[in-house]
Amino acid sequence: MKKPIYLDYAATTPVDPEVADLMRFYMVEEFGNAGSRTHEYGTRAKQAVQKAREQIASIAACQPDEVVFTSGATESNNLAILGLRKHGEATGMKHIITSAIEHKAVLEPLEHLRDEYGFEVDFIRPDLSGAIDAQQVKALLRKDTLMVSVMHVNNETGIIQPIEEIAELLKETDVFFHVDAAQSFAKLVEPLQNPRIDMFSVSGHKICGPKGIGALITRRRKYRRLPLKPLIFGGGQEFGLRSGTLPVPLIVGFAHASRLMVANLEGYWRRAELFMQHVKHEVAIHEYAMLGSDELRVPFLAAIQLRDHDSEAYMLKKKTFFVCANGSACTSSSYVSSHVYSCFFDDPIKTSSVIRLSYLSNSEYVVSGHPSLGLK
Strand 301-305's sheet: what is its strand order?
289-290, 301-305, 354-358
Residue 158 near residue 275, CB atoms below 8 Å: no
Residue 273 near residue 299, CB atoms below 8 Å: yes
Taking the C-alpha atoms of residue 213 and residue 126, their distance in angstroms, rounded to an integer, is 30
Residue 91: what are its φ and ψ, rounded to 5°? -100, -5
Residue 119 near residue 113, CB atoms below 8 Å: yes
Taking the C-alpha atoms of residue 356 and residue 156, their distance in angstroms, rounded to an integer, is 6
A 10 A CB-CB count for 313 gives 13
- 373 contact partners, CB below 8 Å, separation of at least 6: 279, 282, 283, 286, 288, 304
Q: Tell me the catalytic residues.
A: 330
Q: What is the DSSP string of 222-282?
A: TTB------SS-SS-TTTTTS-S---HHHHHHHHHHHHHHHHTHHHHHHHHHHHHHHHHHH
Taking the C-alpha atoms of residue 376 and residue 368, their distance in angstroms, rounded to an integer, is 18
Q: Nearest Cα to 343, choosing from 150, 132, 106?
A: 132
Q: What is the DSSP string of 173-222?
A: S--EEEEE-TTTTTTSHHHHT-TT--EEEEEGGGTTS-TT-EEEEE--BT
Residue 101: what are its φ and ψ, rounded to 5°? -110, 20
